[in-house]
Amino acid sequence: MINQTPFADLVESGLVGDPRNGSIWRSLRQVFNSHQLAEWRADLARLHASGLGPAGLEAYIGAAGTLAEHRGPLAALALAPCILDVERHAGRAAAAALSEATSPALRHLGNERDFRDWLDAVAELAAQGPESVMPVLARSDSLLAELGAHGFRAWVLGGLRAGGSNPERRLALFSLSDPRAFDLFEQATGDIGFTDLERALKAYLMALFRQKPFIRAVAGTPGDSLQRRAGFDRRFVQVPARMRGVAATSVRRVYRAMLAHIGAHLVHSGPRFQIRGLKPMQVALVSLIEDARVEQLAMRELPGLFRLWAPFHTARADGGVTAPSLFARLSRALIDPNYRDDDLWVTKGRQMFFAAREALADPGISRQIGNLLGNDLGQMRIQFNPRTYRVEPLYRDDNAGLWDIDDAPPQMSDEQDAIVESVRIERTQDLDDSRDLQRSTPDDDVGRATARELRADEGVPVGKYPEYDYLLGRERPEWATVVEYQPQPVDATLLDRQVQSYGDILNRLENLVGAARVSRPARLRGRTEGDRLDLDATIQAAIDRRAGLAPSPRVYESTERRNRDLSVLVLLDISESTKDFVKGSSTTILTVERIATALLSQALSDLGDAFAVAAFCSNGRDDVRFYPVKDFDQRYDRHARARLAGLRGGLSTRIGGAIRHAGALVGAQRTHRRLVLVVTDGEPSDIDVADRRYFVEDARKAVQSLAHNAIDVFGIGLDGGGTAYLARMFGRRNFVVIDQIARLPDKLPLLYMRLTS
């Protein structure tokens, strides 16, 4: 053993001639050139000098030999620097753990690039969350088996983003003791998830059955090889967050089949079945018959559902005579008329079910048939394990919503207790989830604010929004929570006086407003009546007549003055930096923002444009603060001015979530043009992410998302050195920099007039 060998002997004898390390040495000599071999020996000496310890050194030597042989010399040489890096940040124990975790990890790392991605993820974890390195490396083998190298790195980065600067939160996430770790795990798989398809799937369920339950995606557990089933209650539905092992091209079809099946239950299932007196096998069979019953009733009304459900039933008649196999074969026999199965029990089940064809509207049929079939299997000595049973096929729910577990008898066998407890666990979790959902935004208003009465000293969550992680190249769904706070109003007398001091701007705005209200004349062509002929349309009509075609009667044109058809939300950054003084004055940046916004608001009010004013700051992703100063349906009056005057600066600038929420509000306005006007004084940042580029890229994604919904976003930067990040966030033509901040009150209203002319 190495722990009995001095290091000098290890280098001189072990690497050169010691038979215990001979095979490793030979593999190294075969793949390393002389320079690489010298570098590797120097790395080994550094590891020994660092105090890695005999076990860690032995693990490193073994891993290096395997790496050199199977992943190449560069991969082998990359390991030691990473071990030293981990030791510097997380300690010797973590460094030794990395050394020992390397060889098992190689089973899941197919090439050098995968190996380097894994090392990079461990190094990033050591630098930003050193307390979490040990639990992650302890699970590295199983995590890599599920996620692969890219998914592993995505999971690590997601945990670091979620844990922020809180070591206890990070440790809980990476130790898998925080339930949010499972959400991160599901996201890291890279599979298409429910949230990616949510709106379309909810519309699908509504179109089929006119059902609109709360729907929640529930993450699976790392290491669980079995796909979680959907579940339902009368008030809500829960579905797997991601469909593990399902091809991307089939995910939408699985979710559709799943929700259609649950929709059939919501419409056609009756009161919950009583569990009293039933054995676990009978409970499972009653549930199976009930699944088939509601599907038959649904297919009577919507025959196309057969094409949706039938392909999932793949059980074969030559399957084994076990409870799961027989259940799957019976399920297929009850939906597929072309399926042939000679098993007497399957045949009996099919005959009993279709003999009751005219009575399928009665849920009691399911209990009657299920009881009889369960008794038959009991006489056949077929074993059934309720703890390992999974409903098949994949799209069907877990059946927990069919049973009333409250009447379960106090004295039960172990088997009965197992199945009742499994239902009880599902329902307890579901009821907790439903309460959370009822406190949150309704399904059809995902990402939108709901009207609430807010106390001045506390906020209320009004929306969850995605955030884009540029390192992963995708959005993390429902990542940032926007919390609405009421601005505390103050006497606006000072603000009014400050506004009046800009007399020249007020006079100029009055003239501009007058011109804009009159508006430009619009030429309306191709009309059936008007002031004069539309020459182009008249010529075309003459051509049509000569060609023997019926000419269009739309040969007139007229001129009208049209009203301004736009709405705008002015979004103010009120982060900590707005408390700074404007250079060369005793006025704060926030004071200048308030004055400029007051001038603009007065102009907008005079114009009659629909507008709202809000401010934002942030305190981590769970608290993106949004302060509504004036809503679209409110007047700009003394109350609005008092709220504007009461804004106070503080905290950070998580701008992406604020832009998305502003977009949701202005997007509800039924105007031809919709605009979000953002005033910000610096590069976005927040307490839980050190990477500034993260927030810039997320803001850019938010702006692009709004653009896809025909909402314009224009940025006004008060940072003279911010041209690069402002251009990245808003686009090169969609921002201006006002480096003389004191001139913002002059510029902002005039800029708006130019933008909307």
CA atoms within 13 A on the CB side of 183: 16
Q: How far is CA 278 from CA 281, 292, 471, 757, in A?
A: 8, 20, 53, 74
**In the prediction, which pLDDT does 220 show?**
64
Structure confidence by residue, pLDDT tens digits, 234-282: 778 999 887 766 766 788 899 999 999 999 999 999 899 988 778 889 9
- Residues linked to residue 735 through DSSP beta bridges, in sequence order: 715
Report the amino acid identity of residue 729: M
**Rounded Cα–Cα distance for residues 724 and 40 (Å):** 43
Q: Give residues with Cβ within 8 angstroms of 755, minimum separation 6.
A: 675, 677, 714
- Closest residue by Cα to residue 690 from 533, 471, 428: 471
The band of 23, judged by pLDDT with boundaries at 50, 70 and 90, is low
Q: For the chain, which residues make up each domain, given as ranges?
A: 6-189, 191-433, 492-515+565-756, 521-560
**Rounded Cα–Cα distance for residues 67 and 603 (Å):** 69
**Rounded Cα–Cα distance for residues 565 and 562 (Å):** 8
- Closest residue by Cα to residue 413 from 386, 390, 432: 386
**Rounded Cα–Cα distance for residues 255 and 240 (Å):** 9
- Residues linked to residue 482 through DSSP beta bridges, in sequence order: 463, 624
Structure confidence by residue, pLDDT tens digits, 641-694: 999 999 999 999 999 999 999 999 999 998 888 999 999 998 999 988 877 889
**Rounded Cα–Cα distance for residues 755 and 752 (Å):** 5
Read off the pTM: 0.58
**In the prediction, which pLDDT does 429 show?**
43
**In the prediction, which pLDDT does 25 show?**
65
**In the prediction, which pLDDT does 256 show?**
94
Query: Residue-wise over 197-226: b if at least 16 C-beta within 10 A, else e?
Result: ebeebbebbeebbebebbbbbbbbebeeee
**In the prediction, which pLDDT does 477 show?**
80
**In the prediction, which pLDDT does 451 show?**
34
CB 535: neighbour CB atoms within 10 A? 11
**Rounded Cα–Cα distance for residues 15 and 193 (Å):** 50
* Beta carbons of 272 and 403 less than 8 angstroms apart: yes
- Closest residue by Cα to residue 592 from 640, 630, 644: 644
**In the prediction, which pLDDT does 604 show?**
85
Max intra-chain CA distance, the chain: 108
Q: How far is CA 371 from CA 367, 376, 555, 681, in A?
A: 6, 9, 77, 71
3-state helix, strand, coil in the chain (%, to 5): 55, 15, 30
Structure confidence by residue, pLDDT tens digits, 188-223: 665 677 877 888 899 899 999 988 888 888 876 655
Percent of the chain at pLDDT > 90 equals 38
Question: Is the Cα dihedral 251, 254, 257, 262 positive or negative?
Answer: negative
For 210: left if phi > 0, alpha if psi spans -120 to 50, otherwise beta; the answer is: left
- Residues linked to residue 217 through DSSP beta bridges, in sequence order: 239
Of 11 and 442, the one with more pLDDT: 11
**In the prediction, which pLDDT does 569 show?**
95
Q: What is the DSSP letter of 620?
A: S
Q: Is the pLDDT of residue 753 over 80?
A: no
Structure confidence by residue, pLDDT tens digits, 117-129: 899 999 999 999 9
Structure confidence by residue, pLDDT tens digits, 272-323: 998 877 888 999 999 999 999 999 999 999 999 999 999 999 888 887 788 9
**Rounded Cα–Cα distance for residues 303 and 88 (Å):** 65
| DSSP-derived 3-state class of residue 679 | strand
**Rounded Cα–Cα distance for residues 413 and 26 (Å):** 62
Query: H-type helices in 396-502, by residue range?
Result: 414-439, 493-500
**Rounded Cα–Cα distance for residues 276 and 299 (Å):** 31
Structure confidence by residue, pLDDT tens digits, 617-654: 999 888 999 999 999 999 999 999 999 999 999 999 99
| DSSP-derived 3-state class of residue 189 | coil
Q: Give residues with Cβ within 8 angstroms of 629, minimum separation 6.
A: 487, 597, 612, 613, 614, 615, 640, 643, 644, 647
Percent of the chain at pLDDT > 70 equals 84
Domain 492-515+565-756 CATH superfamily: von Willebrand factor, type A domain (3.40.50.410)
* Beta carbons of 433 and 453 less than 8 angstroms apart: no
